[in-house]
Structure 1
Amino acid sequence: MGRSRKGRDISGWLVVDKPAGLTSTAVVNKVRWAFNAKKAGHAGTLDPAATGVLAVALGEATKTVPFVTDALKAYRFTVRFGAATNTDDAEGEVIATSDRRPSDDEIAAALPAFVGDIEQVPPQFSAVKIDGERAYALARAGEEVEIAARPLYVESLEMVERPDADHAVLEMICGKGGYVRSIARDLGQALGCHGHVVSLRRVWAGPFEAEDGVTLDLVEELARTPALDDYLRPLEEGLADLPELRTTHDGATKLRNGNPGIVLASDVEYGDEAWASLDGEAVAVGIYKAGELHPNRVFVKG
């Protein structure tokens, strides 16, 4: 018989404005400890040097993580021209330099190539797995490996500021799996001057915005107190990109038992993914078929 996990049965989202210098895992562990929660996870890793939205899911909200991970995200970042590093950010060693500096017009002309459905090669120092090993572990061991390009959808990429000839501030909205460091690296190559990221902030991720996030200092200050629970957001916010279907008490019972349940009429089409609610509370996520929701994720009533 398995050992039961200690902690509270508490569910919801905590939006953290992650500080620089911590891994995403460290933030999740801190939040889990502060709430004394049984289960916690996050929707999208941020590099240790990056700041901004890190949405931490607790309890039943962890079942909604994929929907936030798959949602669009916005980043604001600064590119340093004239140098390439082995990590594609300021943390790494400089491996190439250039005296060339692109003009504003040259940068503007290069950006459209990075918009739409593109192919992107992740950084050597990334969490991508190669033959079962993390790329960053191989890179730290001195191995240079070939990482295959991966598809990425970029909705927009714009220069919003040019502080000086060496730097440009960009804003990007993209889908799941994007590496901002790769954008900076490839932009520098396209402009013939090299480039890397010197600062990065995730402005928003799906329904969550950095300006609404709490600091880790506040989390630590209120840890293990009821006051911290006031900052917890409903797990339903993680389903913001899916259509909501209302169900009945009988339908909710069937859905929670993993069976198809009746949902009220809506404009959701046959075969669409949606979530069912009862009195505003999420019951299940599933596939809509002819007046019923066929569940693939069921939420335990708190």
Structure 2
Amino acid sequence: MGRKRKGRDISGWLVVDKPAGITSTAVVNKVRWALQAKKAGHAGTLDPEATGVLAIALGEATKTVPYITDALKAYVFTVRLGQETNTDDAEGEVTATSDQRPTDDIVKEALHGFVGEIMQVPPAFSAVKVDGERAYKRARDGEELDLQARPLWVESLVMLDRPDADHVELEMVCGKGGYVRAIARDLGRKLGCRGHVLRLRRTWSGPFEAEDGLTIDQVDKLAQTPDLDTHIRPLEEGLADLPELKATPEGATRLRHGNPGMVIPADVEYGDEAWASFEGRAVAVGRYKAGELHPDRVFNL
């Protein structure tokens, strides 16, 4: 028999405003320790030097992580024009430079080409797998990588500020799998001046906003106290982008056992993905078919 994982059976979301200089995994470990939680995971990695919202799923909420990962998210970032680096951020070595500096109007016009369904080649220093190994590991060994372009939905990309000729501040709203560093790299190339990310902040991810998040210092201060529990948000917030269906008492019982259960009809179509609730708590996520929800994930709350 496998060893039983120690910790509290606690479910929900804790939103952290991640500081620079720490990995997303380290934040998860800090939160798990602070709450003495049995299970925790994050909904979308941030680079170590990036800041902003990192939503930590606890317990049964880890089953809703894909819905936050797939949701739209917003980034505010500063691009340093005139320099391209091997990591596409300020941590890397400069590999190309240019004295050209585009005007504001030229920058704004170029941004249009990065909106909608675009194809994006991930940075060489990224967690993309190449033959089963992370790309950044091969890049660190000096290997030249030929990464394949991937589709990315960019809802919007706008210029917020141009503090000087060398810097431009942008805001991007995009879907799953986007690399801001790749946007900076490709924009710099399109403008003919090269570029890399100098600063990066994720301001919101799905229903979660950075300004509502706890700092690492606050997590430390409240660690292993009841006060930290008061900041845990309901599991159901991770399902905000899915329609909710009310389960009947009998339907809720069947759903909890992994069987199709009756729900009260609502504004959903046959085959739509939705979640069922009973007495205000999530019971299951699945597909709506002829008055029943056919569960894919069941919550043990």
- State the partner residue of 1:251: 251
What is the aligned-residue RMSD (CA, Å)? Answer: 0.5
Summarize deviations over 1:179-225 as a string: whole Å, max 9, x none.
00000000000000000000000010000001111101111111111
- State the partner residue of 1:95: 95
1:265: Cα distance to partner? 1.2
- TM-score normalised by structure 1 residue count: 0.99
- State the partner residue of 1:113: 113
- State the partner residue of 1:202: 202
- State the partner residue of 1:288: 288
- State the partner residue of 1:141: 141
Describe the SS at the equivalent of 1:251. Answer: helix
- State the partner residue of 1:127: 127
Summarize deviations over 1:135-156 as a string: whole Å, max 9, x none.
0000111111110000000000
Q: Distance in 2 between matches of 1:293 and 1:142?
A: 51
1:284: Cα distance to partner? 0.3
- State the partner residue of 1:186: 186
Give 2:293's aligned amino acid: L
- State the partner residue of 2:264: 264
- State the partner residue of 1:220: 220
Work out whether 1:50 is the aligned partner of 2:50. Answer: yes
Give 1:12's aligned amino acid: G
Q: Distance in 2 between matches of 1:273 and 1:207?
A: 18
Summarize deviations over 1:238-289 as a string: whole Å, max 9, x none.
0000000001221111001000000001111000000000111000000000
Q: Distance in 1 between matches of 2:281 and 2:64?
A: 13
Describe the SS at the equivalent of 2:189. Answer: helix
Give 2:144's aligned amino acid: E
Spell out the pairing of 1:10-89 with structure 2 (5 A cutoff): 10-89=10-89
Q: Distance in 1 between matches of 2:153 and 2:76?
A: 17
Q: Distance in 1 between matches of 2:214 and 2:196?
A: 29
Give 1:28's aligned amino acid: V
Give 1:194's aligned amino acid: R
Which structure 1 segments of 5+ residues have no match? none
**Count of residue correspondences:** 301
